[in-house]
Amino acid sequence: MSGDLSELYQQVILDHNKRPRNRGKLPTANRVAHGDNPTCGDQCDVYLRLEGDRIAEIGFDGSGCAISQASTSLMTTQLKGKTAAEAEALFQQFHHIVTTGEAPEEISDLAAFAGVHAFPARIKCATLGWHAALSALHGDPAPTTTESHTD
């Protein structure tokens, strides 16, 4: 592993990869979406239980690289309890972090992924779970794939 890559795998990422949060199929889910990142081989299913407009429960299942799994795990901790609009706003912040490397300090856990911006192929890994979660939120019936997104 190069020095740059080891910087990429910071403590938050390692921790979420080792002990993923909210992992496993959510039996009470009323929304589910599949995410697929064929360029890296990452896959995930994101399960939501929506109460009205709010994410009451969230879970995920998947396999793939450390970045994709850690990012999806972290995402579930960030989105639980959020409304659809709040979830969209958080994704915009996260997307900004991973594409520019600029991280506001107040969202420090998401900022762990700032190093991803130096590895463009990894941006798809980092955003895969988020795309799946937003698809689930919107009730998008089609499986989501990073190939349908420009990033």
Instruction: Please identify which residue in 17, 26, 33, 42 interacts with Zn ion, judged by CB under 5 A.
Output: 42
Residue number, 36 or 42, with CB nearest to Zn ion: 42
DSSP secondary structure string, 32-74?
EEEEEETTTTEEEEEEEEEETTEEEEEEEEEE--HHHHHHHHH
32 belongs to the binding site for Zn ion (CB under 5 A): no
Q: Which stretch binds Zn ion (CB under 5 A): 48-56, 59-67, 72-80, 83-91?
A: 59-67
Output the smallest distance, CB 40 to Zn ion, in A. 3
> Residue 1: how many CB atoms within 10 A of its CB?
8
Instruction: Please identify which residue in 12, 29, 40, 107 interacts with Zn ion, judged by CB under 5 A.
Output: 40
Instruction: Please identify which residue in 125, 126, 133, 134 interacts with Zn ion, judged by CB under 5 A.
Output: 125
Give me the phi and psi of 69, to 5 degrees please.
-70, -40
CA distances from 1 to 4, 7, 8 (A): 8, 10, 10
107 belongs to the binding site for Zn ion (CB under 5 A): no
CA distances from 126 to 30, 33, 43, 50, 51 (A): 25, 16, 12, 24, 27
Q: Which stretch binds Zn ion (CB under 5 A): 11-19, 36-44, 77-85, 93-101?
A: 36-44
- Report the interface residues with Zn ion, using CB under 5 A: 40, 42, 64-65, 68, 125
